[in-house]
């Protein structure tokens, strides 16, 4: 079926709809078939397709072939000029223009290998070829991302990779266990829903204004004055403090069960109402990530397949700038959770028996095999011996409060969740709203917001994921979601 796009045209006394019939969209496979190499050229070519006017699919493909064969003839072309220039520049590149990759890299540990997609494995293999790489591991929830795969852990020598940290710097889980028994939740669901809606805010670009803005000491950090770039982001950070954004971020109430007393947290055996939050550094962190990734790519020229792994040496001023900004964004992300948890605990009049928090998009200085390395965990939970963490499933699957076992081969890490088994696009195409409602009903979950891309069926089986990492973490308690709030606009994020 052809796609139909409509343009609304308003006139003084007349309104009408203008429809343009377009052929099926062009994708990367079409361009690969013409001889385009995987990488940036395909991205530039697809941008041309989005701007096309008056060309059918066949005409566009014919033009793509001509541009690839004779790019010099198209340098002044309004639609294909940028693509032609890029083709010529790519043809003139020499191997010596790039930092050489290690052709004989070390192997890396993989957990739940049978359930990890090939794209994630290939990305990890490339990451292991970086000249700064020391060690790596792939967690059982791994799936393909940008640069380092989601669920990838990479140790480097004195270098930090902005895309190895990720766009949502400091994204984390935070859990508050209340002194509220299980039955109280079911007797007062309306109250819990009211407070959840009143004290959370979701959606791309969303923030608070005026008297509704929250305060936190993180906004007074001197790091905000370290550079004009960071300073200019402070107002955005302030307005979005205590919000959760979009994508897979959530705030949810659930029942957490301790099958035996936990003497470390000092919580007796039993079931309690708990609040679980998942979000990061919002537009503040995303802007930092974009800025320093661009600078890293300009200063660290890697071959095409590794370009998103461009790194910054911590011996350089630029590397130290990013390190400072990353840590500030991480502290800001933590502050966002603290604001949400404090508001809701106060609204409920609840006493917090225990609070556990961990981040999973970050880089840490750690000692491994006797040397200091920079450990990037992109969608991976820190799991050093005795370290507490939270690994969620989906909106209908259990999550787990865990304690790390300090597995050396895993670089003291574990999964950060169940991991996706469908891309967002696949989920939207293959899951219906009625199917999603049915599974929510079966599990007794109240959902506020969320798109089909976050449907439970889009995620791997969390129980299988946990079975694949028994050597990495010990389960302390099980969290069952009961009321989940997410962004109404689904996958959109800052």
Q: Which positions are catalytic? A: 416
Spell out the long-range contacts of 225-228 with Cβ–Cβ below 8 A and sequence spacing 24 or more: 226/321, 226/324, 227/321
Measured CA distances, 248 to 316, 323, 393, 481, 485 (Å): 35, 26, 12, 15, 10
Dihedral angle sign, alpha carbons of residues 227, 232, 238, 242: negative
User: 169, 450, 129: which is closest to 286 by C-alpha?
Assistant: 169
Beta strands in 86-144 (DSSP E): 109-110, 133-143
The DSSP secondary-structure symbol of 283 reads H
Among the listed residues 339, 312, 40, the one whose alpha carbon sits nearest the alpha carbon of residue 176 = 339
- At residue 331, φ and ψ (nearest 5 deg) are -65, -35
Single out the residue of 126, 118, 185, 182 nearest to residue 154, CA to CA: 126
Residue 129, token pair as written in the block: 């070829």
Half-sphere exposure of 184 (CA within 13 A, CB side): 14
The C-alpha angle 340, 341, 342, rounded to 5 degrees, equals: 95
DSSP single-letter state for residue 264: T
Half-sphere exposure of 150 (CA within 13 A, CB side): 16
Residue 81 DSSP SS3: helix
Helix (H, G, I), strand (E, B) or coil at 480: strand
In the DSSP assignment, the letter for residue 167 is S
Residues in Cβ contact with 307 at an 8 Å cutoff, skipping those fewer than 6 apart: 39, 40, 297
Fill in the DSSP letter of residue 116. S
């Amino acid at each position: 079926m052809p796609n139909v796009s409509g343009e609304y045209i308003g006139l003084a006394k007349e309104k009408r709809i203008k429809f343009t019939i377009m052929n099926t969209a062009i994708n990367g496979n079409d361009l690969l078939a013409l001889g385009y190499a995987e990488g940036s050229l395909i991205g530039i070519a697809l941008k041309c397709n989005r701007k096309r006017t008056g060309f059918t699919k066949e005409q566009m493909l014919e033009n793509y072939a001509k541009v690839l064969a004779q790019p010099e003839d198209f340098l002044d072309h309004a639609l294909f000029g940028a693509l032609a220039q890029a083709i010529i520049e790519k043809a003139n590149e020499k191997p010596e223009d790039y930092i050489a990759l290690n052709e004989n890299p070390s192997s890396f540990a993989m957990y739940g290998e049978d359930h990890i997609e090939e794209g994630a494995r290939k990305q990890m293999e490339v990451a292991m070829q970086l000249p700064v790489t020391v060690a790596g591991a792939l967690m059982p929830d791994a799936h393909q991302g940008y640069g380092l795969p989601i669920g990838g852990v990479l140790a480097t020598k004195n270098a930090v990779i902005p895309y190895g940290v990720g766009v949502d710097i400091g994204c984390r889980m935070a859990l508050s266990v209340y002194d509220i028994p299980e039955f109280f939740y079911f007797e007062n669901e309306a109250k819990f829903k009211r407070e959840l809606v009143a004290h959370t805010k979701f959606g791309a670009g969303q923030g608070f204004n005026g008297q509704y803005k929250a305060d936190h000491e993180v906004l007074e950090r001197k790091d905000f004055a370290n550079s004009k770039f960071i300073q200019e982001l402070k107002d955005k950070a302030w307005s979005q403090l205590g919000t959760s954004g979009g994508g897979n971020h959530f705030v949810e109430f659930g029942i957490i069960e301790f099958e035996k007393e936990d003497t470390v947290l000092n919580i007796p055996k039993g079931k309690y109402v708990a609040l679980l939050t998942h979000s990061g550094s919002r537009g503040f962190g995303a802007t930092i990530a974009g800025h320093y990734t661009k600078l890293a790519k300009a200063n660290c020229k890697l071959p095409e397949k590794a370009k998103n792994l461009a790194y910054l040496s911590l011996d350089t001023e630029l590397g130290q700038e990013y390190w400072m900004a990353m840590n500030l964004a991480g502290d800001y992300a933590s502050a966002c959770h603290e604001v949400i948890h404090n508001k809701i605990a106060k609204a409920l009049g609840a006493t917090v028996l225990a609070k556990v928090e961990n981040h999973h998009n970050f880089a840490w200085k750690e000692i491994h095999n006797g040397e200091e390395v920079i450990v990037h965990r992109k969608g991976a939970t820190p799991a050093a011996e005795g370290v507490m963490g939270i690994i969620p499933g989906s909106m209908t699957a259990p999550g787990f409060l865990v304690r790390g076992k300090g597995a050396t081969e895993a670089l003291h890490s574990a999964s950060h969740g169940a991991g996706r088994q469908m891309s967002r696009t696949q989920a939207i195409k293959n899951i219906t709203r009625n199917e999603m409602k049915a599974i929510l009903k079966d599990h007794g979950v109240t959902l506020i917001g969320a798109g089909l891309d976050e449907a439970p069926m889009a995620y791997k089986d969390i129980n299988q994921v946990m079975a694949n990492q028994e050597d990495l973490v010990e389960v302390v308690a099980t969290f069952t979601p009961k009321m989940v709030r997410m962004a109404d606009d689904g996958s959109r994020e800052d």
